[in-house]
Amino acid sequence: MKKRKIEKNKREKKENFFQKNKNIIILFLIICFFTLIIYAMNYQGNYKNSIIMVTDSKACYCVKNRCFSLKNQISDLLKNKFNNSVKFKVIEYRDNSRSEKIMNKYNMGMIPAVVIVNKKGEPIYNSNFYSFNIDDFTNKLYELKGRNQ
């Protein structure tokens, strides 16, 4: 009998807590929801002042190696010469909706493809594995950062 009363009191306390704080809890959830939406919008579409690479990790051996090689070249350059101060976004080709939009927007061709986007959202360097030139790429990064080599 006592156990039932204790359990009933606990349940009533929990119910009272939620009843008393219902408005605060709802407000908190709404704020979290809008914060998440704002974050997602900024994260998805903000490619300004960044390097975007489209890669295919599930491709055949040779394409996969080209993707891996180009990604490593760019990562090493960013680490050694730019202290990782430039955003480098790698997008998987298999993520069709996202990769298709980006490839069409920046007129990217073969995979792996890489583009440097300036502050205005305009591409200032666009290349694939075969036409990639590390010196031109580096010069465009210095231009992006607003400094001389």
pLDDT in tens, 75-106: 888 888 877 777 888 888 876 777 778 787 87
Res 102: pLDDT: 78
Decide: pTM greater than 0.95: no
**Gyration radius of the chain over CA positions:** 25
Res 27: pLDDT: 82
72, containing H or E segment: helix 61-82
Res 87: pLDDT: 83
Q: Which residues of the chain have pLDDT under 70?
A: 1-6, 8-9, 12-15, 38-48, 95, 147-149
Domain ranges of the chain: 2-43, 47-145
**Tokens standing for residue 42:** 């900024």
Q: Name the fold adopted by 47-145.
A: Glutaredoxin (3.40.30)
